[in-house]
Structure 1
Amino acid sequence: MGAKERYILLLIIDSLIVTFSVFIGYYILAPFFLQYTMPVLITTSIILLISHHVFAYVFNLYHRAWEYASVRELMSIAQAVTASIITTYILNILLFQTTFTRLMIITWMMHLILIGGSRLSWRVARHHLIGKQSSDQEKLRTLIVGAGKGGSILIKQMLDTPAMNMLPVVAVDDDSTKQRMELAGGVRVEGKREDIEKLIKKYDIRKVVIAIPSLSKTELNEIYELSNHESVEVMIMPNIDDVMSGKVEVNALKKVEVEDLLGREPVKLDTAGIEEQVRDRTILVTGAGGSIGSEIVRQITKFQPREIVLLGHGENSIYTILEEMTGRNNNIEYIPIIADVQDRQRMFEVFETYKPNIVYHAAAHKHVPLMEYNPKEAVKNNIIGTKNTAEAACEYKTEKFVLISTDKAVNPPNVMGASKRVAEMVVQGLNQNCKETTLVAVRFGNVLGSRGSVIPKFRKQIEAGGPITVTDERMTRYFMTIPEASRLVIQAGAIAEGGEVFVLDMGEPVKIVNLARNMIKLSGYKEDEIGIKFSGVRPGEKLFEELLSEDEIHPNQVYTKIYRGKTVSYPIIEIEKTIKQLENNNNIKELLLDFVNRKEYTKN
């Protein structure tokens, strides 16, 4: 039925109810009360009909989706009916100088029952018809985790929306008071979180939907493990506040992704301390178009700097982050600079022009096998580029310079890791002579979803039908989300005193083969459908990464999830000599590894 036809039908139904309810009410009273004449009743009926349609328009009774009627919709009927009855009552007193109290009370009750009943019958009829239509199709038997507001709304949506193709069968909730409670559609709460596995088998469950979006990562992992059966898909509903505010639909369910399982709880930052350093200042981010650089830009805007200089070598990536940030209307000036950190003169020009107060140096070559084939580029970009940028910061009295480093800089067997270790040494060496600039490095492992990350690669391989290629069954890596890494980089920069190598707490290392298996299951496949192929360790790769070498370790965290390596003093003259040798030597890898593994430098 179209909107126009439904409007006309509801108009006719209400008109009949309103018109005849006065007469029906009168005949209920007639044996005991004969005060009203027929002209008075007809006049009352006309007044009531007009006032009802006026208030029906005010309270929007004809343009609601009554097939989804709830208490809120019934309240609108009560308001419209009450307003029309009171209006009629007052006008009758003015016209006929007599009260109509009992008649109006009976009429009001009839309106509530009949008009409200007509709307509810709309929902009942629809539910009956849909139940009949959908009984032939096989719906996926679904278990709901969480019997609170989110779970209740979700179950109703499943029952009312055949397109979701889900049949809510049973729910679980850790709240003892909700056990055996019956939710919409007869769905009962039959246990707690630990009962999920048993209920999946008992009710032949095919989908588990988590209706508690505020779960911690640890709890989400626990529920996923309990639900991790073959042919069972695990999903999570959107945030209930977003649903209630209308930002998203309740049926916009999201698959649980591997990023959800690997991510950790957000760290509470020292926002006051960071804002004190950042507010109304000039921030420069190198590599601003990259995964980490662009996220640092997003995070740093929360602390209201005056301007952010977006520096990068690739114009497309800088254009993308510029467009994103200028669309936010946050009164921050974004300055796009296309420049190569290898170009010393250009870097000094940029610093002379903008005189940044804080620099986050994220520009680097990070791909291990590629740098094995291109060691000169690793030296030019990771070492010389860092030296150029750091010396420009010193020359123009930048307050803080933060180098984004990597766990691959620890005991490196490869060109990329060794070049980043030398970059750290450059920063620590310059910090000794650069009195007005605090220079530090922040070291962390792999970030989820970054360019070249294993997760996008595995996702593409699964989409192509497999197999997933894993280099070695023993291979492990540390993982962290890009936003978490970026926030901790900003925090480390705020607490830096100079010369430190800060290390972010990456949690427990993850076996790459287990990551691949999880991604296969989360994508709805069995392992033998996609397959895992071991391709062998690539040039320069380590089986296990480290975050600090033994002689760098300070055991205590200086901030939540941030450790500080021991401050090391490297003679900048020795570093500069080595850089010149690297520029004029074909055996770069051997020279790099020899340099970073020397033990004669003093440690404080």
Structure 2
Amino acid sequence: MLSNKSVLITGGTGSLGKELTKTILKNWPDVKRLVIYSRDEQKQFQMAQDYPTSEYPAIRYFIGDVRDLERLKRAFMGVDYVIHAAAMKHVHIAEYNPDECVKTNIGGAENVIKAALESAVTKVVALSTDKACAPINLYGATKLTSDKLFIAANNIKGHKDIKFSVVRYGNVMGSNGSVIPFFLKKKKEGVLPITDPNMTRFNISLSGGVDMVLHALETAWGGELFVPKIPSYKIMDVAKAVGPECEYKISGIRPGEKIHEEMITSSDSFTTYDLGKYYVILPQVPGWKLDDYIKEFNAKLVPEGFNYSSGENAEWETIDSLRDLITEHVDPTFKP
């Protein structure tokens, strides 16, 4: 799929960007070019220690901000596929700095779309979040807006051969700023802060997130919003998995947080289809024949009123399974 193709990852020095880089270089050693686009020179310097251009001649490190349209246009020259992972993602920081969040998550999305439409890019996959579903915080609202922009971009492409799609998933296990690395650090102090003991979240591994992005790159017809079928966990089970001997101190919900997250609302059910491994929310007015899509992917419409919530999930992580996942995906030396 990526053989002799040029791929650009915005936010390429983030957790998912680095996992995508590892996967692409391993599975497609003949990738033509892999551009790591991000604004943090220190993170690029550190990433270049792991993936030096002398050893990986396809890789390029490109300093730039998604807020800068002209810089994006230059970066997109000769690129076939774009994976848009750059974002401000911390809920409470976005609440305190709303204008910065809007500039990056909405303005940045607009710039990625404009730059893609003015270049030879043929596929764009944008990363979303469960917080974009029925959002109550600014971060979620900006990502919902971003989702809508990317899906609607298929309506303005004209005769260009380009497809825009979105992938939406829950908390990525072990990603920067996520709860498990935070708990592992706090465990040394003997106290784990719990926002609310009833809180639940969806859980996906970095490799699972990468698989989903690659699935969208390979199969998207344009306008789809892909949602994975993944388990949930209870925040108290995470705490018990990490620090069973620790004190649990209730700190209260931070601004903009939910007790449970959703990835598909009942209002989405009218255009949501079950693809087997994934759900997909289709555009209300697709640019292709719906019957052809259903036949191609054996897609089955979900029941009217269906919703997908972390608090009402059919699949759950246990304390033991969480420990296994922490050892596998976060810290191989982990011991509870």
Shorter chain as normaliser: what TM range? 0.7 to 0.9
- Displacement, 1:569? 5.3
TM-score by length of 2: 0.80
Pick the aligned partner of 2:32 from 306, 309, 317: 306
1:505 aligns with 2:229: yes
Q: Give the aligned partner of residue 290 of structure 1.
A: 14
* Larger gyration radius, structure 1 or structure 2: 1
1:448 maps to amino acid? M
Q: Give the aligned partner of residue 184 of structure 2.
A: 459
* Other structure's SS at 1:537 match: coil
Q: Give the aligned partner of residue 360 of structure 1.
A: 83
Q: Give the aligned partner of residue 406 of structure 1.
A: 129
1:539 aligns with 2:255: yes
- Displacement, 1:327? 7.1
Q: Give the aligned partner of residue 235 of structure 1.
A: none
* Other structure's SS at 1:283 match: strand
Q: Give the aligned partner of residue 301 of structure 2.
A: none
Contact 1:410 1:549 in 2 (8 A): yes
2:126 maps to amino acid? L
Deviations 1:381-432 (A, max 9, x none): 0111011012111111311000011011000000000000000011011111
1:473 aligns with 2:208: no
Relative distance call for 1:341 and 1:569 in structure 2 (3 A) is farther
* CA distance in 2: counterparts of 1:339 and 1:567, whole angstroms: 31
* CA distance in 1: counterparts of 2:205 and 2:114, whole angstroms: 31
* Other structure's SS at 1:547 match: strand
* CA distance in 2: counterparts of 1:557 and 1:376, whole angstroms: 37
Relative distance call for 1:568 and 1:370 in structure 2 (3 A) is farther
* CA distance in 1: counterparts of 2:211 and 2:195, whole angstroms: 31
Structure 1: stretches of 5+ with no match in the other structure: 1-274, 571-604
Contact 2:125 2:167 in 1 (8 A): yes
- Displacement, 1:433? 1.2
Q: Give the aligned partner of residue 65 of structure 2.
A: 340
* CA distance in 2: counterparts of 1:350 and 1:423, whole angstroms: 20
- Displacement, 1:512? 0.4
1:419 aligns with 2:142: yes
More strand per residue: 1 or 2? 2
- Displacement, 1:333? 1.4
* Other structure's SS at 2:259 match: coil
**Greater RCO (Cα-Cα under 8 Å, separation 6 or more):** 2
Deviations 1:536-588 (A, max 9, x none): 11100011001112232356443x53221121459xxxxxxxxxxxxxxxxxx
1:519 aligns with 2:242: yes
Deviations 1:1-37 (A, max 9, x none): xxxxxxxxxxxxxxxxxxxxxxxxxxxxxxxxxxxxx
Contact 2:130 2:170 in 1 (8 A): yes
For these two proteins, the number of residue pairs brought into alignment is 281
Contact 1:500 1:568 in 2 (8 A): no
TM-score by length of 1: 0.45
* Other structure's SS at 2:143 match: helix
* Other structure's SS at 1:335 match: strand
Contact 2:79 2:121 in 1 (8 A): yes
* Other structure's SS at 2:100 match: helix
1:567 aligns with 2:287: no
* Other structure's SS at 2:264 match: coil
Q: Give the aligned partner of residue 210 of structure 2.
A: 486
More helix per residue: 1 or 2? 1
Pick the aligned partner of 2:42 from 300, 307, 316: 316
1:375 aligns with 2:98: yes
* CA distance in 1: counterparts of 2:113 and 2:21, whole angstroms: 19
Contact 2:53 2:60 in 1 (8 A): no
- Displacement, 1:497? 0.4
2:64 maps to amino acid? A
- Displacement, 1:378? 1.0
* CA distance in 1: counterparts of 2:188 and 2:144, whole angstroms: 37
1:67-78 alignment, distance < 5 Å: none
1:256-275 alignment, distance < 5 Å: 275=1
Contact 2:273 2:281 in 1 (8 A): no
* CA distance in 2: counterparts of 1:536 and 1:547, whole angstroms: 23
- Displacement, 1:328? 8.7
1:33-112 alignment, distance < 5 Å: none
Contact 1:432 1:569 in 2 (8 A): no
* CA distance in 2: counterparts of 1:516 and 1:479, whole angstroms: 15
2:195 maps to amino acid? T
1:397 aligns with 2:120: yes
* Other structure's SS at 1:478 match: strand
Relative distance call for 1:479 and 1:399 in structure 2 (3 A) is same
* Other structure's SS at 1:498 match: coil
Relative distance call for 1:568 and 1:315 in structure 2 (3 A) is farther
Contact 1:428 1:568 in 2 (8 A): no
* Other structure's SS at 1:491 match: helix
* CA distance in 2: counterparts of 1:327 and 1:314, whole angstroms: 18
Misfit runs of 4+, over 4 Å = none
Deviations 1:133-186 (A, max 9, x none): xxxxxxxxxxxxxxxxxxxxxxxxxxxxxxxxxxxxxxxxxxxxxxxxxxxxxx
Q: Give the aligned partner of residue 326 of structure 1.
A: 52
Contact 1:369 1:538 in 2 (8 A): yes
Contact 2:197 2:236 in 1 (8 A): yes
Q: Give the aligned partner of residue 157 of structure 1.
A: none
